[in-house]
Structure 1
Amino acid sequence: MDNLTHGLLGLAVGALRRPDVRPDSPERSSSTDRAVLLASVLAAELPDLDTLLARGDAVTVALHAHRGLSHSLFFAPVVALAATLVAWAVFRRDTRLLPVFLTSLASVLFAHLLPDLWTGWGTRVLLPFSDARLSLDWTVVVDPWVTLPLVAGAVVAWRRRAVWRRALLLGLACSMAYVGARVVSWSVLTRRVDGAHPGAESVRVFPAPFSFSTWRYAARLPGDVLAAGDVTLLGEPREARRVTAPVDVLPGDLREVPTVREALAWARFPVVTVTQVETGREVRVADLRYHLHGEPTLTFVVRVDAAGTVTEARLERGGSASELLRRWRGGDTAPKSRSP
């Protein structure tokens, strides 16, 4: 999820703890109460500091450096402890560390790691024991209908201090109700797509940006064939494209290139091409999870020279915002060529 949503979820998690001083009391809140809220927000945001420390090419940074160890269950207590210590440094006097730490730990788990799992991009919560990228595919990374109830709750809490806790919790309840509806929709539509492709080896439904009723899907059919299309809550799956996508299209030496390996591990329904270019070979790894009318919108492009060294790595998003909007409306189905 985006950082605004993480932070607001952290604030709401902090509000779940019953304050030492009643929210509507004329007395000032205790230092522990204030430390809990600060630490909860910090704990929800700290894992994404890995983006500031990331090194390497664009593909490695996007897929490996970000959502790494700081996003794992194993490292969550460390993140919670760091947030606790910062909050204690701010509100030292009479601050009890245990409730601050426990709430911070809950914030790491439920305001950061779990929301990242909701998204189609996924996250590696099992590091360092497993490098698998896990995803529940319930929401897109930036989903305004998750965020807006939290924003509204925070605004009311700021303007009406007497009901700040109820406002935050009501915003959290509305946001979670929306996520619950997404889970139900995902389950129903997955069964519908699976029924439309009875011989499929695997079927997956993915959220479409800024839409509740329309979802994308991809299916792996026998013979290395991938099918991609759309499905709505009130309609049957509409297949947009089939493509033959053998999983062993890459030569062994290219598979051993770390940047290429990261892109392949990311793609669950990969469409891979290899072409000769002036400087060596160009590998394009697209994923039909991200498509408009069957055409991929996200492609990792890696150029490798004769010595096996990566000379260029980039992420193509299928064209400019206006091109993507035109394709979404049903215009051009293929992205315009773009210079590297």
Structure 2
Amino acid sequence: MDSLTQIVLGAAVGEAVLGKKVGNKAMLYGAIAGTIPDLDTIVGEFLDPLTAIEIHRGISHSIVFSLFMAPILGWIVAKIHRKEIATWQNWSWLFFWGLVTHPLLDAHTTWGTQLFWPFDLRLAYQNIFVIDPLYTVPFLIFLILALRLPKTSEKRRKWNLLGLIVSTSYMVLTLLLKWISFGKFEQALADKNIQYAELDTRPAAFNTILWYANIDAGDKYLLADYSFFDTQPITFREIPKNHNLLGELAASKTVKRLAKIAENWYAIEVRNRDFYFNDLRFGTYDLKAKDLKFVFSYKLISNSNGALKIKEAERDPEAMKEVLTGLWSRIWGN
């Protein structure tokens, strides 16, 4: 999820683990631990675009990484704060939970995490968007209330615990909402007697009221949305897969790597004789638009030796403003 949310979660976990002994230092180092896994984005700046995509939420978001880094960071901080009553083991325990709760939270998003690296398994429950104010804001308020109190205060621990309980309860609620919306899409497909191989759902940006669905229907995809405030039946929009348009390019390592990243939820589009790889997992800017534009779209470029490289399609800031306006309207029903 977003950096602020990971900082809040890390700080709350740090407080729960060691706040009674070291006070606000527990929140500080918990917050630091909560941001460390996302440093893979900095590493990605020095790599080619495709490799950067592949490593994101990879090893740094694994249990192995947490187990390896926690004692190292714990030893460093123990040396810095020798006068504190906390031991090296105490600090290591704080860093482990600060590090590991980061990928545990990210696993609920669409991108997911490789929590069990080196095993080739990406967990993505897709029940919360990467930025969700209803998860983060109450959590942050409870953390601030705890921060203002002395480390020995019982109220401090209660405020922090309440923040953890409320945020976790909301996460459980999003799983329930995903289950209900999934059933709505299933019923709509059954009502229209549509045959399909797979159904994939995820929440729209910034909320869990509006949900999107991708449906694999053979040589095409069906895209749909559903709001809990809807009064009209769910409708489906067809998108051809067009995988055959790639021809021999389909056998290239670049396309295969992209297909693996997209978990085979992709469509090929041709614009001005250029091939674009559209990752369907993150949906479109506006499902009702005449010409669909996908959030993650990559131009396939052949270099001088015939190998393929990719370039992410640029986003239009003005178009994004229109999308947000349309999203707010769509949340409240059709």
TM value normalised by structure 2: 0.82
Distance 1:263 1:316 in 2: 18
Q: Does 1:210 pair with 2:206?
A: yes
Partner of 1:227, secondary structure, is strand
2:90 aligned residue: 99
- Does structure 2 retain, via aligned residues, the 8 Å contact 1:149–1:171? yes
Q: 1:230 aligns with which of 219, 225, 233?
A: 225
Q: 2:79 aligns with which of 70, 89, 111?
A: 89
1:27 aligned residue: none
Q: 1:243 aligns with which of 239, 242, 245?
A: 239
Partner of 1:308, secondary structure, is coil
Distance 2:329 2:138 in 1: 31
Q: 2:216 aligns with which of 188, 209, 220?
A: 220
CA shift at 1:322, angstroms?
Answer: 2.3
CA shift at 1:34, angstroms?
Answer: 6.1
CA shift at 1:177, angstroms?
Answer: 1.5
Seen in structure 2, the aligned counterparts of structure 1 residues 95 and 118 have a Cα distance that, compared at 3 Å, is same
1:168 aligned residue: 160
Partner of 1:67, secondary structure, is coil
CA shift at 1:168, angstroms?
Answer: 1.7
Seen in structure 2, the aligned counterparts of structure 1 residues 255 and 142 have a Cα distance that, compared at 3 Å, is farther
1:192 aligned residue: 184
Instruction: Tell me how large the CA RMSD over aligned residues is.
Output: 2.8
Distance 2:100 2:313 in 1: 29
Which stretch shifts more, 201-210 or 163-172? 163-172
Seen in structure 2, the aligned counterparts of structure 1 residues 305 and 50 have a Cα distance that, compared at 3 Å, is same
1:282 aligned residue: 275
Distance 1:266 1:318 in 2: 24
Aligned residues: 313
- Structure 2 unaligned spans of 5+: none
Distance 2:25 2:325 in 1: 48
- Does structure 2 retain, via aligned residues, the 8 Å contact 1:285–1:299? yes
Distance 2:12 2:177 in 1: 25
Q: Does 1:141 pair with 2:130?
A: yes
Distance 2:278 2:246 in 1: 10
- Does structure 1 retain, via aligned residues, the 8 Å contact 2:57–2:114? yes
For residues 104-153 of structure 1, the C-alpha deviation after alignment (integer angstroms, 9 at most, x for no partner) is 2222222x0111111112222232221x4331101111111111112101
Partner of 1:298, secondary structure, is strand
Percentage of pairs with the same residue: 23
Matched ranges for 1:28-107 at <5 A:
30-31=21-22, 36-54=26-44, 55-61=46-52, 63-93=53-83, 94-107=85-98
Q: Does 1:180 pair with 2:137?
A: no
Seen in structure 2, the aligned counterparts of structure 1 residues 315 and 167 have a Cα distance that, compared at 3 Å, is farther
1:11 aligned residue: 11
Distance 2:268 2:111 in 1: 19
Q: Which amino acid aligns with 1:298?
A: F
Distance 1:211 1:326 in 2: 14
Seen in structure 2, the aligned counterparts of structure 1 residues 36 and 210 have a Cα distance that, compared at 3 Å, is closer
Partner of 1:175, secondary structure, is helix
- Does structure 1 retain, via aligned residues, the 8 Å contact 2:112–2:125? yes
Partner of 1:124, secondary structure, is coil
1:25 aligned residue: none
Partner of 2:305, secondary structure, is coil
Partner of 2:79, secondary structure, is helix
Seen in structure 2, the aligned counterparts of structure 1 residues 311 and 187 have a Cα distance that, compared at 3 Å, is closer
Partner of 2:107, secondary structure, is helix
1:267 aligned residue: 262
Which stretch shifts more, 156-165 or 137-146? 156-165
- Does structure 2 retain, via aligned residues, the 8 Å contact 1:122–1:134? yes
Distance 1:298 1:204 in 2: 17
1:293 aligned residue: 287
Partner of 2:63, secondary structure, is coil
For residues 194-223 of structure 1, the C-alpha deviation after alignment (integer angstroms, 9 at most, x for no partner) is 2222432111211101223111111112x3
